[in-house]
A and B are shown apart, each in its own frame.
Chain A
Amino acid sequence: MTAGDAQPESGPMQVRGTVLTVRRVDAYHAITVVAPGIAARFKPGQFVTAAVGGPDTAMLSRRAFSIHDVRPDHGGTVEFVFAVVGPGTRWLAELRARDVLDLTGPLGRPFPVPRDPVSCLLVGGGYGSSPLFALAARLRERRCTVDFLLGAASGDRIFGALTARRTGRSATITTVDGSLGVRGVVTDMLGQVIHEARTDVIYACGPMPMLRQVTALARRYEIPVQVAVEEAMACGIGVCMTCVLPVVGTDGITRMVRACVDGPVFRGEQVRWDDIGTIPFDALGAPGWEPRTRTAAAGDAGAAGAVAGAGQARAAARGRRPGNAS
């Protein structure tokens, strides 16, 4: 893995990229932008952010998108897939060839790739599948086998079904309305696919509830899972602190970490899925939190209980169920 390398050529950069194409892909849009520096530095799982709305825009948050693919033509192009969900993405969808787009990237930690040729299952929900195809190519370079499991509400919301069928050893599709593949959701098929593919490692990208369930099932089968999370971001570079989620570190301490720079890829079991949207009482710096060294040994449990109560009161006040602190 080279994610931690401190090469000068490995950091993100900001470019004014020229749009090559914007095309409809079923329910989504795919945009290709000339951005040589970003393309050269890209690793699967990383993302870009775009400034939307033009020079006098009233939309100040950058929009974050997983990179779908990079290509060497025109010196290097970057493609990402998006759904029109508001004024920012509507503006993006209306861009035309030769328009200029302010892009920053590649951002975030990429998917770690196994050293040995193992059996990899790539699980995607909706257009969350878009970063999985570049990952699949990289895994095949490592002589890994790749199986796909893609799910969405309907057939037109499955992104990349054809590519998955063409390039995967197997490709299983689920749709809630049954319009493509098996009727149901990805987690209905996960056990069967894992069994048939003799999966060694799972990679997943899609909505948070899906990632949570995939992680739970992977844990049951004792298979490592890498997830790329979706959190609302404003900057994408680690300064705004908007996109935090509770993640347990290798030292056992839960921290509110930034999805943009500490992720978006995490080991699934490190994410405290039940506590997303809360500050777990035992997270570093949570209200009532005390450094371990200051806590009297005998008072440990009592102190924790007291702050747990406070945390639950806070959660209840917000109209949410208190997070499971396990």
Chain B
Amino acid sequence: MPPDLRTRLGSVELPNPILTASGCASSGRELAQFIDVSRIGAIVTKSVMLAPRAGRPTPRMAETAGGMLNSIGLQGPGIDAFLQRDLPWLLSRGARAVISIAGSTVGEFAELAARLSDAAGVTAIEVNISCPNVEHRGQVFACDPVDAGAVIEAVRARTRYDVPVFAKLSPDVTDIVSIARACVAAGADGLSLINTLLGMAIDTDTMRPVLAGLTGGLSGPAIRPIAVRCIWQVSEALPNVPIIGMGGVLTGRDALELILAGASMVSVGTAIFHDPSACARILRELDEELARRGTERVSELVGAAHDVRAAGRRP
């Protein structure tokens, strides 16, 4: 019997727990040249904003050891073009669509949620309150429990009751659990952990920052231990809140590590840049990892690392 990979995302059932990470798969169309987008758990779209956005100047990317810095700055077509072009395409391909939204005010988030409530086929909303590539770091709602809660409350109020709302949090905080608690108290159905970490690289030849935006978000396997720690801490404190885990997952075994820490779904991000078929491969590898351990259902292993009785259990 192959392992049962079905996963619940709020009120929705996904065929498996492997998702794309927001900002790493656009709206799925490009990836469809390499993988069947309906076969993975869901496509999490690049964050959609109200208006079209040009993003930050180039250079926007710096490769670092085991990772990369990006300062894209939420370039995108805006909600009108997204609803007209991208969402219908995703649905036509049989993909489940988790829509990431980003705004610079609570009102913008609320308006985006309202626009999405009128659209059919939205599996869930992921609220990006943690993008580090905004003009002022003070605008990162996920750095403050009150600000984070205000956004989530506004989005939850404007979102259809049957569409789960996930808050995407930043690891760049002293106490991620307090932010997580504030989001859940404000109505978040789940949490997405983690966004990129704010980083910087300097070109030693030009003696200037590599990125035109000076700072950027660090992603890739270099940050996986931080993702594991954040997922662990939050699932320890809030064991019944579903978590989408992300941060440097390159293989099925990496995905399993996040699941063991407490994630019931895993998003694949930077790995897609390295391997456009990464999601399909990681799904296959996860399936093999579970089969080798004789696991019947992936849900059995969510947060299993917290269980002291499981210590020493071997496949």
Chain A positions within 8 Å of B, measured between CB atoms, are 11-14, 51, 57-62, 102, 104, 231-232, 234-235, 237-245, 255-256, 261, 276-279, 283-287, 289, 291, 318-319
B273–A60 touching, CB < 8 Å: yes
Interface residues of B in 16-57 (CB under 8 A from A): 24-26, 30-31, 33-34, 46, 51-57
Closest to B210 in A: A232
Bound Cα distance from A31 to B196, whole angstroms: 36
A residues less than 8 Å from B72 (CB atoms): 240-242
B220–A60 touching, CB < 8 Å: yes
A285–B75 touching, CB < 8 Å: yes
B57–A278 touching, CB < 8 Å: yes
Bound Cα distance from A60 to B63, whole angstroms: 7
B273–A318 touching, CB < 8 Å: no
Which of B109-117, B163-171, B235-243, B274-282 interfaces with chain A? B274-282
A residues less than 8 Å from B272 (CB atoms): 235, 239
Bound Cα distance from A286 to B57, whole angstroms: 10
Known: A237-B33, A240-B61. A60 touches B51 (CB 8 A): no
Contact of A58 among B59, B66, B208 (CB under 8 A): B66
Contact of A241 among B67, B75, B275, B277 (CB under 8 A): B75
Q: Give the shortest distance, in Å, between A172 (CB) and chain B (any CB).
A: 32
A240–B65 touching, CB < 8 Å: no
Bound Cα distance from A244 to B275, whole angstroms: 20
Chain B positions within 8 Å of A, measured between CB atoms, are 24-26, 30-31, 33-34, 46, 51-61, 63, 65-68, 70, 72, 75-76, 78, 135, 208, 212, 220-221, 270-277
Central interface residue in B53, B55, B276, by most chain A CB within 10 Å: B276
B residues less than 8 Å from A287 (CB atoms): 54, 135
Name 27 interchain pairs, CB-CB below 8 A, sorted by A: A13-B33, A13-B34, A14-B275, A14-B277, A51-B274, A60-B67, A60-B220, A60-B274, A61-B63, A62-B274, A104-B34, A234-B63, A237-B31, A239-B26, A241-B75, A242-B72, A244-B58, A245-B58, A255-B54, A256-B75, A276-B58, A285-B51, A285-B52, A285-B54, A285-B55, A285-B78, A287-B54
Bound Cα distance from A232 to B220, whole angstroms: 18
B residues less than 8 Å from A319 (CB atoms): 208
Closest to B28 in A: A239
Known: A14-B34, A237-B30, A239-B31. A60 touches B68 (CB 8 A): yes
A residues less than 8 Å from B212 (CB atoms): 277, 318
Bound Cα distance from A238 to B70, whole angstroms: 15
B57–A318 touching, CB < 8 Å: yes
Q: Give the shortest distance, in Å, between B239 (CB) and chain A (any CB).
A: 33
A104–B276 touching, CB < 8 Å: yes
Given contacts A12-B33, A256-B55, A256-B75, 9 further A-B pairs with CB under 8 A are A13-B33, A14-B34, A51-B274, A61-B61, A61-B68, A235-B272, A235-B273, A242-B58, A277-B212
A283–B276 touching, CB < 8 Å: no
B residues less than 8 Å from A285 (CB atoms): 51-55, 75-76, 78
Q: Give the shortest distance, in Å, between B274 (CB) and chain A (any CB).
A: 5
Q: Give the shortest distance, in Å, between B12 (CB) and chain A (any CB).
A: 24
B residues less than 8 Å from A245 (CB atoms): 58
Closest to B271 in A: A60
Contact of A239 among B24, B56, B208 (CB under 8 A): B24
Q: Give the shortest distance, in Å, between B196 (CB) and chain A (any CB).
A: 13
Contact of A240 among B24, B33, B53, B54 (CB under 8 A): B24
B residues less than 8 Å from A289 (CB atoms): 51-52, 54
Bound Cα distance from A159 to B313, whole angstroms: 60
Q: Give the shortest distance, in Å, between B22 (CB) and chain A (any CB).
A: 11
B54–A61 touching, CB < 8 Å: no
A residues less than 8 Å from B76 (CB atoms): 285
Q: Give the shortest distance, in Å, between B173 (CB) and chain A (any CB).
A: 25
